[in-house]
Amino acid sequence: MSHGFELALAVDDLNRVLGLRAVPGRTAVVMTMGALHEGHATLIRTARAHVGREGFVVVTVFVNPLQFGAGEDLDRYPRTLDADLKTAEDAGADAVFAPSADEVYPGGKPQVTIAAGPMGERLEGASRPGHFDGMLTVVAKLLNLTRPDAAFFGQKDAQQLALIRRMAGDLNFPVEIVGVPTVREPDGLALSSRNRYLSAEERRTALALSGALFAARDRLTAQQALRARAQSQPASQSRAAALSKLGEARAAADAHAVAQAGPGGADAVRAAARAVLDEAARARPPLVLDYLALIDPADFTDVPDDHTGDAVLAVAARVGTTRLIDNIPLTFGAPA
């Protein structure tokens, strides 16, 4: 890149950086609350690849007070700007915009904010009232300030991503919203700035979140494989009988489970995840489940048992004093 790395601590600095740069390419933004980790670095690298060497990548670092509710960890949230600058630069960012709360919200809390609507009242919104209103308000402000062609967000925050896409469409923001797959640590735990709060024992319990999602994914894969093999049997045989005749060690049990689950099998997928979470609830320290939901990504409502097409299995829980979220995309095949 021909342009140097910049730190913008105020709106005037950002305008100078955006106004003076001689870059003919597209601009991308990666919005963060700091405490950058490999997940954020992946977002930045993806943004860089998207806009190319001639493009411009801005990373915002702002701990947004509007999206923290009473008793949440605003004051506790890690601030590591020096380390964040290095991570951002190493990952390919051109500038970091790190304003203060007074700079983003001159005069205090804004009187005009963005309401997340019905989708924002479900799951995370039910657990954290007002959270998504605050999130969308700051995202709208940062989109206006950075004026990007594309904005990149992690799929780990699936409901957040869905709401940002909805806002951009409903309010005609001239920006492409790009979702980037969740980055996980080697043991499967989704990368999060809050992982640093976990003790060794709490981390072992926290692995149940990703474990539950993977168990559900495996259950769906097995159901769909069994159903496909059942369909290959003579039409005169019932599905359960056909599966039972496959001669595999678990065929009969799986046949019964598939028959009980119905054509889509969403209930069995939920049950596979819940079994892992129930076991973690008996661990020491225990996992305290907030929600487990298999939802339609279009509106975040629960899917029926015979659902076909895309879905998201989302989970939120506390381990000790740390609240963690995770999700996995799933695709349900056509019913047999």
Q: In what order do the strands lie in the sheet with 287-295?
A: 287-295, 309-319, 322-332
Helix 81-91 / helix 38-51 crossing angle, nearest 10 deg:
40
| Cα 132 versus chain centre, distance | 14
CA distance 160 to 199: 27
> Residues 42, 47, 52, 55: is their CA dihedral positive or negative?
negative
Please compute, for residue 250, the number of CA atoms within 13 A of its CA located in the half-sphere on the CB side: 8
CA distance 164 to 272: 30
Q: Where are the beta strands (DSSP E) in the chain?
A: 6-8, 27-32, 56-61, 95-97, 150-154, 176-180, 287-295, 309-319, 322-332
Is 37 an annotated catalytic residue?
Answer: no
> Residues 319, 325, 331, 336: is their CA dihedral positive or negative?
positive
3, 37, 40, 307: which one is catalytic?
40
DSSP string computed for 86-151: HHHHHHT-SEEE---HHHHSTTSS-SS----TGGGGSTHHHHSTTHHHHHHHHHHHHHHHH--SEE
> Is residue 107 classed exposed, middle or buried when 0-12, 13-18 and 19+ CB atoms within 10 A define those classes?
exposed
Answer whether 316's CB lies under 8 Å from 127's CB. Answer: yes
CA distance 328 to 304: 18
- The values of phi and psi at residue 323, to 5°, are -100, 130
Going by C-alpha positions, the residue among 159, 280, 266 that lies closest to residue 212 is: 280
Q: Which residues are catalytic?
A: 40
